[in-house]
Amino acid sequence: MHRETVYYDSREFPKWGRFYAAASEKGLCLLALPGGKAEAFLEKVIRRFSPHLLIQHSAFFADFFRQLGQYLQGSAVEWRCPLDLEGTPFQLQVWEAVKAIPYGETRTYGEIARALGRPGSARAVGRANHDNPLPIVIPCHRVIGAKGALVGFGGGLALKENLLNLERKK
């Protein structure tokens, strides 16, 4: 997945940590949750997008990080930033279904699979969530196990629980 130019920046949010974001000319294409290092994020950007130019550009992300800050303070946010997503047709379907989960609510992997007309594909839904390049924006933390268990989140189960608790406070 080649991109001519990729912009990136990061922002520290008290109580949460540092988030890293990358965007192409088309829109936001990668968000890294707290816990990682800048070097690892940049290596992932280069490996994933093979950009000719990689530019740190804070102003490019000002609105996105403002919205992320509002979300992390407990506000339901309608993300206004354009997205530049690439994935398989099934992944794109899953991510659209996950984006439709309302703030403060959860769905199981099986419920999403059934909603997509693919009952029995709960594991494939889980795999698509695992490959989600934009956690929080595509709120895969709202997807839970069949019996309500918190399972499978790239940022760790503690972060998943914190995000769900944040949303439930509203």
21 forms beta bridges with 9, 31
Query: Which residues, other chains included, contact 26 with Cβ-Cβ below 8 Å and sequence gap of 6+?
Result: 82, 84
Helix spans in 25-88 (H):
38-49, 62-72
Known catalytic membership, residue 140: yes
Tokens of 30: 């990668």
Query: Which residues, other chains included, contact 162 with Cβ-Cβ below 8 Å and sequence gap of 6+?
Result: none
Interatomic CA distance for residues 78 and 66, integer angstroms: 12
Choose, from 21, 136, 137, 140, the residue flagged as catalytic: 140
Query: Which residues, other chains included, contact 166 with Cβ-Cβ below 8 Å and sequence gap of 6+?
Result: 72, 74
Interatomic CA distance for residues 114 and 119, integer angstroms: 4
**CA distance from start to end of the chain:** 38
**Residues with a known catalytic role:** 140
